[in-house]
Structure 1
Amino acid sequence: MIQQESVEEYELEIRSLVYGGTGISRLPDGRAVFIPFVLPGERVLARVVKRNKSYASGQVLKILTPSPDRIAPRCVHFGACGGCHYQHIPYARQLEFKKHILGEQLQRLGGIKNPPISKVIACPQPWNYRNVLQFHLTENGKLAFLRTDSSILLEISECHLPMESISQLWQQLDLGPMPEMERIELRQGAEDEILLILHSSSGALPELVCDLPISIVHKSPGSSVVLVGNEHITMQVKDKTFQLSAGSFFQVNNYIAEKLVELLLDKLVYDNNSVLMDIYAGVGLFSAFFAPHVAQIIAVESVPETCEDFIHNLDAFSNVSLYQGAAREVLPQLDVKPDVVIIDPPRAGIHRKALDALVQLAPTQIAYVSCDPAILARDAKRLFRAGYILTESILCDMFPQTYHIESLNMFQKQ
């Protein structure tokens, strides 16, 4: 152990990877310490950068004994940028670690002794897969990401996660100083169309000169203004197209979005007499594929702009009803008996009031699309108490090179 004044440096062995993109070790006092950009079995020299009563956070100073799995990261910013966590790990091993972490979270936090993780769906293109990318702007108008575990901006010169058209375009942007701009967002749609979204704290419109073949939308509190081109792009999944406006959510990985659709169509039990409920329905990705096969779809979505997209995308179907509002407010008011329910909540999971109302509706099957295994485990415990069992979990790797874990989880009413 090396200690100099307030600096604490230790030689540590990494025991395992845990959710959040870090490895875990133990300090001499037995306290857990979480260290990013490491691998199990590695011996490292690390500095403690934060302590509290139960655990500490560390920073690698030197890899003393590297894992045989360790590879060179592709990006020059890896380790400084907060976007990627696993570039030092071969992709096949990333999937193994994610499966282990998903199971550990379900077991430790959800109380499931043998989590039924049946398969792992790999992304066939673990680089350049994102159809959307968000940037911050430095004071001089340069594109930046946040540094690891920090609110400090890191000006970037490369990123290997966005799809090809975004990759080619973002380095051509020269926006200049825009102090009122909170962030900018680039989205790539079908036929490589690009939508640039300027998220601003001010309603004042910027003066822009654009000679690029893109659309630009300025969004500020209570306002959305098209500056160039169209207010939306078109996304395609399998044989269906979806209107996607600047303020609407869509899955970031087109391949995994398609796999989720296929899995839902295969795993859910339904027929032309079934009533299906789609909660946190977004622009209608899942509803569009089920509408031809069930008697009725009841969808719930809270974002007005997204609801407009949903209505456009499902306009051809007369058996679809959309309720605009927060799920916690809408569900207690519904007098329906759905046979199956699809839930694709935000990272925070299902609001307790929404979940309480959902279990009162007593659907036979619930398909829960999760992007956070800890929150999934929390919600699973609530479903267990309401008489549901988890019959199958499928890890769908929506976010290669990162610690984020997307999964499809099938719950059955006992």
Structure 2
Amino acid sequence: MFHLFQRDGALIRGVPSFFLDTLSTHLLPASLPARFSLCPMPQTIILSLETPAYGGETIGRLPPDENGRRKAVFVPYALPGERVRVHLVEEKRGYARAELLEVLMPAPERIPPRCPHFTHCGGCHYQHIPYEAQLHLKTNLLREQLQRIGRIAEPPVQPIVPSPEPWRYRNHVQFHLTADGQLGFRAPRSEEVIPIQKCYLLHPTISEVWPHLEIEPLPGLERVALRVGDDDDLMLMLESHDPQPPEFSVDFPLSAMYLGPQGRNLLAGYPDQQISVLGRTFQVSAGAFFQVNVPVAGQMVTHVLEHLPLDTHTTALDLYCGVGLFSAFLAERVGRLIGVEENPWACEDFTVNLDAFDHVALYEAPVEMALPHLREAHPQVVVLDPPRSGVGRDTLKELLALQAEVIAYIS
């Protein structure tokens, strides 16, 4: 998602997320496991659903209570206008959550999901509607949230730029392990790992290799990640709390890195990959973040550059700059660029990727610690692409204290 703000805080442009999480079926199995904390008195009820909510849920209403209030019920994998049978699994003072059991009256746009793991694995939310309908739904959600939460009466939300490829686009995946060593994803709102046999979002090279991986569920092993770079170069990353790397052998042409509490240990191949965006090649090390949809990464860079006032007199900040994706293109257009990143491996990559520019500086520190020291730089433009957790309130205050003319927030 790209937002562009003027100094007075008014949103002047917003484009919903390029993120594609593509996901229930017309009739869902009644044996869907409950993955939420149970209500004191679990109930199965029938609801008529009204409005969409963030994260693939749709809102229905319980019958009026003694005060005439109708509590909102959030139902996943359902659509506005549907009549559904649900199981209440969590009830709070102001709202409730339910598990979808059966669609009694489907919406016209409902389609069968492509993936057999849909509704069980927590990776996708919208496979039960066509991609074009997903874009329309997300556009309306963004507009509604800017009105309701942002208090912007008429948010100028622009049409979504669709992903060139809605399937098989992810160049990076993180698996968790079941107790017996099967690779899988976490269930919705749960720590339970659901073993999977197929994922239609993964790059073909990853899909070809991962089913053949045999990973022993060693103590401390948290995640198993795969990332594909240029020329289908593949890297395996094992993330663990155990400081001792495991014995390792591989029959595939890939690199492998162990990411432990004491740093990285190269198990096979090379410690980094090359990933190209808009004709520029980036070094990306194991443990450093890079956009998972490379074609869309290029679209985001192009969009940012088209809407920022950049010239050789501009000082720009790139917060959460990672390996320098946005910095590399900004540096060609500004007089001074300062990046801020705390991941040490990403910082090493940034130094390599921006080596050709002598007007670029890098702060290796958390953004919230670096911002107070950057006021004297008087940046006119700030670009930030924070992690999924977003930006904390105190960090936002420091960001506004910079009094930059334009802030571009990518999420």
TM interval, shorter chain, is: 0.7 to 0.9
Look up the equivalent residue of 1:367 and give its one-letter code: A
Partner of 1:362: 403
Q: What is the DSSP-based 3-state SS (H/G/I as helix, E as strand, rest coil) of the residue aligned with 2:212?
A: coil
Partner of 2:26: none
Does 2:343 correspond to 1:296?
no
Q: Is the Cα contact below 8 Å between 2:174 and 2:224 reproduced in 1? A: yes
Q: Runs of 5+ in structure 2 lacking a partner?
A: 1-39, 65-69
**Shift of the alpha carbon at 1:304?**
1.4
**Shift of the alpha carbon at 1:222?**
2.6
- Could you say if the C-alpha distance between residues 197 and 88 of structure 1 is closer, same or farther in structure 2, counting changes exceeding 3 Å? same
Distance 2:388 2:75 in 1: 23
Q: CA RMSD in A?
A: 1.3
Distance 2:84 2:402 in 1: 52
**Shift of the alpha carbon at 1:174?**
1.1
- Could you say if the C-alpha distance between residues 7 and 352 of structure 1 is closer, same or farther in structure 2, counting changes exceeding 3 Å? closer
Q: What is the DSSP-based 3-state SS (H/G/I as helix, E as strand, rest coil) of the residue aligned with 2:128?
A: coil
Alignment of 1:301-380 (within 5 A): 301-334=341-374, 335-370=376-411
Distance 1:49 1:249 in 2: 36
Distance 2:277 2:216 in 1: 36
Q: What is the DSSP-based 3-state SS (H/G/I as helix, E as strand, rest coil) of the residue aligned with 1:119?
A: coil
Q: TM-score, normalised by structure 1?
A: 0.86
Distance 1:302 1:177 in 2: 30
Cα distance per residue 1:185-228 (max 9 Å; x no partner): 11111111111100011012112220101110001113210000
Partner of 1:223: 263
Distance 1:212 1:181 in 2: 21
**Shift of the alpha carbon at 1:32?**
0.6
Partner of 2:115: 75
Q: What is the DSSP-based 3-state SS (H/G/I as helix, E as strand, rest coil) of the residue aligned with 1:14?
A: strand
Q: Is the Cα contact below 8 Å between 1:195 and 1:216 reproduced in 2? A: yes
Distance 1:344 1:205 in 2: 32
Does 2:287 correspond to 1:247?
yes
Q: What is the DSSP-based 3-state SS (H/G/I as helix, E as strand, rest coil) of the residue aligned with 1:354?
A: helix
Aligned length: 366
Distance 1:146 1:15 in 2: 28
Q: Is the Cα contact below 8 Å between 2:219 and 2:242 reproduced in 1? A: no
Does 2:91 correspond to 1:51?
yes
Distance 1:360 1:8 in 2: 50
Specify which of 125, 128, 145 is matched with residue 168 of structure 2: 128
Partner of 1:7: 42
Distance 2:249 2:284 in 1: 25
- Could you say if the C-alpha distance between residues 299 and 177 of structure 1 is closer, same or farther in structure 2, counting changes exceeding 3 Å? closer
Specify which of 240, 244, 249 is matched with residue 204 of structure 1: 244
**Shift of the alpha carbon at 1:352?**
3.1
Q: Is the Cα contact below 8 Å between 2:73 and 2:97 reproduced in 1? A: yes
Specify which of 3, 7, 27 is matched with residue 62 of structure 2: 27
Partner of 1:399: none
Q: Is the Cα contact below 8 Å between 1:332 and 1:354 reproduced in 2? A: no
Partner of 1:388: none
Q: TM-score, normalised by structure 2?
A: 0.87
Q: Is the Cα contact below 8 Å between 1:12 and 1:46 reproduced in 2? A: yes
Q: Runs of 5+ in structure 1 lacking a partner?
A: 371-414
Cα distance per residue 1:105-135 (max 9 Å; x no partner): 1111111111111221101211111111110
Q: What is the DSSP-based 3-state SS (H/G/I as helix, E as strand, rest coil) of the residue aligned with 1:292?
A: coil
Alignment of 1:32-43 (within 5 A): 32-43=72-83
Look up the equivalent residue of 1:264 and give its one-letter code: V
Alignment of 1:59-138 (within 5 A): 59-138=99-178
Distance 2:159 2:364 in 1: 35
Q: Is the Cα contact below 8 Å between 2:164 and 2:296 reproduced in 1? A: no
**Shift of the alpha carbon at 1:66?**
0.8
Cα distance per residue 1:124-176 (max 9 Å; x no partner): 21111111111011122111111222111111111111111111111111113
Cα distance per residue 1:306-343 (max 9 Å; x no partner): 11110010001101011111111111112111121111
Look up the equivalent residue of 2:405 and give its one-letter code: T
Deviates more, 1:332-341 or 1:310-319: 332-341
Q: Is the Cα contact below 8 Å between 1:13 and 1:44 reproduced in 2? A: yes
Q: Is the Cα contact below 8 Å between 2:178 and 2:184 reproduced in 1? A: yes
